[in-house]
């Protein structure tokens, strides 16, 4: 199973240490050769939230991983514009990989029970291996809701893809709320990201 590439998509509004800690843990567990963070342009489930500009979210991911050569960032979803359909990103990467090279998509434990609502969910689940990082508050996700959109075999594969990663109770919602309330976000996000949020007056 060694040598694969994992894509980690998200709104990263903003990126925080929860994202980075689970990314590292998954990379080690799967013995990956590459891990690519992919900020979404226009997340279908996040309309109406306090969503920073894509350029700012991308810049913050770049700052967060600046000293970590193993992590990459891709602006493919931002360049594509429109709704960020994961399947399109997966198809793009799949077409560039060598045959037999493993392709993973990383999600958190809160997201797994929503997978059946994703565009072309059945194909998506077959195109890659979905890896789910456990998230505090979502330890035992209800996978029964995924059927009948997904087959029993697909749901079973998703269940086997749940990894015991460190539980980090940080969310971007909480980071934004703290900024809006004038509370410190030090230690929740990388220092360079904290400085960027302050300088650009995001989430006030």
Confirm or reject binding of residue 107 to ligand ATP (CB under 6 A).
yes
Which residues, numbered 169-188, are part of the site for ligand ATP (CB under 6 A)? 170-173
Nearer to ligand ATP, 12 or 93 (CB): 12
**Binding track, positions 118-157, relative to ligand ATP; x by CB under 6 A:** ---------------x-x----------------------
Q: How wide is the angle at C-alpha 122 spanned by C-alphas 121 and 127, nearest 5°?
A: 95
The single residue among 111, 121, 130, 158 that binds ligand ATP, judged by CB under 6 A, is 111
13 contributes a contact to ligand ATP by CB under 6 A:
yes
Q: Is 23 in the site for ligand ATP (CB under 6 A)?
A: no
Smallest CA-to-CA distance from 199 within 59, 66, 42, 74 is with 59
19 touches ligand ATP (CB under 6 A):
yes
Residues with Cβ within 8 Å of residue 47, at least 6 apart in sequence: none
Quote the strand ranges of the chain, DSSP E. Answer: 5-10, 34-39, 71-73, 103-108, 129-133, 162-163
Q: Does 117 bind ligand ATP (CB under 6 A)?
A: no
Query: Least distance in Å: CB of 148 to ligand ATP?
Result: 23
Whole-angstrom CA distances from 95 to 41, 72, 75, 129, 156 are 21, 18, 17, 15, 26
Kindly state the tokens that stand for 168: 């980090």
CB of 79 to ligand ATP, least distance (A): 18
Residue closer to ligand ATP by CB (options 95, 202) is 202
- Window of 4-12, 76-84, 94-102, 180-188 that interacts with ligand ATP by CB under 6 A: 4-12
Euclidean distance between CA atoms 130 and 182, whole angstroms: 37
Residue length of the chain: 204
* Beta-carbon contacts of residue 118 (< 8 Å; ≥ 6 apart): 85, 86, 87, 124
List the one residue from 94, 110, 178, 200 that touches ligand ATP (CB under 6 A).
110
Identify the residue among 5, 6, 7, 18 touching ligand ATP (CB under 6 A).
Answer: 18
Question: Which residues of this chain interact with ligand ATP, rule CB under 6 A?
Answer: 10-13, 18-19, 22, 107-108, 110-111, 133, 135, 168, 170-173
């Amino acid at each position: 199973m060694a040598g694969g590439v994992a894509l980690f998509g998200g709104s990263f509004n903003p990126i925080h240490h929860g994202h980075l800690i689970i990314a590292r843990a998954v990379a080690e567990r799967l013995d990956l050769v590459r891990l690519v963070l992919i900020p979404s342009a226009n997340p279908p489930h996040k309309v109406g939230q306090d969503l920073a500009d894509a350029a700012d979210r991308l810049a913050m991911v770049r700052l967060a991983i600046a000293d970590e050569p193993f992590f990459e960032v891709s602006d493919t979803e931002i360049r594509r514009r429109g709704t960020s359909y994961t399947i399109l990103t997966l198809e793009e990467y799949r077409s560039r990989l060598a045959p037999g090279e493993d392709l993973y998509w990383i999600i958190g434990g809160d997201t797994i029970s929503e997978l059946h609502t994703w565009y072309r969910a059945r194909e998506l689940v077959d195109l890659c291996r979905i890896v789910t990082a456990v998230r505090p508050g979502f330890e035992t996700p209800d996978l029964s809701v995924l059927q009948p959109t997904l087959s029993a075999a697909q749901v079973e594969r998703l269940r086997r893809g749940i990894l015991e990663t460190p539980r980090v109770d940080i969310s971007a919602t909480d980071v934004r709320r703290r900024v809006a309330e004038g509370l410190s976000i030090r230690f929740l996000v990388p220092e360079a990201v904290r400085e960027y949020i302050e300088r650009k007056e995001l989430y006030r």
